[in-house]
Structure 1
Amino acid sequence: MSDLASLRAPDLAEIEALAHDAFAALPEAFRARCEGVAIHVEDFPDEETLDDMGCETEFDLLGLFRGVGLAQSGEVESGRMPNAIWLYRRPLLDYWAEHDETLGDLVTHVLVHEIGHHFGLSDDDMARIEAAAGEG
């Protein structure tokens, strides 16, 4: 019997473990600036999130940062929800199945991207940083 016959898709806890391992592997200075940021893993974004983000399908969003970025935070408002990152298992697995990278690398990439939003970076900022890093 082939080893492939016994494979199954990672569950929520396994994706969460990948995310926590990826976070733990980041430089300490980077992690320190993420104090209090919660990491959640769900199968899919909820309908409100899909609407807010202008998604056409529930597979369009791999991850999401919700909160106030460090660059915009100023004083902490009373009653404000803590900053949090969501990773979406089913869209991640769908993307992974169609691309040539490891699941761990994909989870790390999406997590770092969402942490970039926590730092106050836009998608355009991060695209420029990634392009520059690819040139080096």
Structure 2
Amino acid sequence: MTRTFGTAITLEEMEALGIAALDKLPAEFRAQMGDVVFQVQDFADEETLRDLGMEDPFELTGLYEGHALTERSIEMSGALPTRIRLFRRPILDEWAERGNETLEHLVAHVVIHEVGHYFGLSDEDMHALEDMAG
């Protein structure tokens, strides 16, 4: 489903793009992510933005919430589920600003970034990996 400018993609359509990106991950990664909840919302809520020290909701395209796989222990049972949230409106805004890539590619980029946090990678680690790959 290649998207071009026109009618805005729905939450459900963006969720399908995100799930498709997750499905393209290597099987060994997907197998370890069985407990991750995946959600798409228009924007991050005010509490989340405040906790992150952000004022502009368009600055946040995705968020990993939970402990990294490398930091988990048995004492964490009963904790809130680990989740990845994508934020539709900021992603669409960034897509419009970039103008040189598909929406599928951008959604996959955001999903992979958040999956990296699940596996314990920092933003700096991921940027270094992207620089090496690019």
Mapping for residues 95-114 of structure 1, pairs under 5 Å? 95-99=94-98, 100-114=100-114
Q: What's the secondary structure of 1:116's corresponding residue?
A: helix
Name the CA distance, whole Å, in 2 between partners of 1:58 and 1:76: 34
What is the aligned residue count? 130
Q: CA deviation at 1:78?
A: 3.2
Instruction: Rate the CA distance shift 1:28–1:76 in 2: closer, same or farther, 3 A.
Output: farther
Give the letter for the 2:127 counterpart. Answer: A
Kindly provide the CA deviation profile for residues 13-68 of structure 1, in whole angstroms up to 9, marking residues without a partner as x.
00000001111111111111211111100000000110111112010100000001
Give the letter for the 2:91 counterpart. Answer: L
Q: Which runs of structure 1 show a deviation greater than 4 angstroms over 4 or more consecutive aligned residues?
A: none
Give the match for residue 74 of structure 1. 73
Mapping for residues 27-46 of structure 1, pairs under 5 Å? 27-46=26-45
Name the CA distance, whole Å, in 2 between partners of 1:75 and 1:119: 17
Kindly provide the CA deviation profile for residues 99-134 of structure 1, in whole angstroms up to 9, marking residues without a partner as x.
011100000000000000000111011111111111
Q: What's the secondary structure of 1:104's corresponding residue?
A: helix
Q: Output the TM-score relative to the length of structure 2.
A: 0.92
Percentage of identical aligned residues: 49
Pick the structure with greater CA Rg.
1
Name the CA distance, whole Å, in 2 between partners of 1:30 and 1:79: 24
Aligned CA-pair RMSD: 1.5
The answer for unaligned runs of 5 or more in structure 2 is: none
Q: Output the TM-score relative to the length of structure 1.
A: 0.91
Give the match for residue 17 of structure 2. 18
Name the CA distance, whole Å, in 1 between partners of 2:125 and 2:66: 18
Give the letter for the 2:126 counterpart. Answer: M
Give the match for residue 49 of structure 2. 50
Give the letter for the 1:53 counterpart. Answer: L
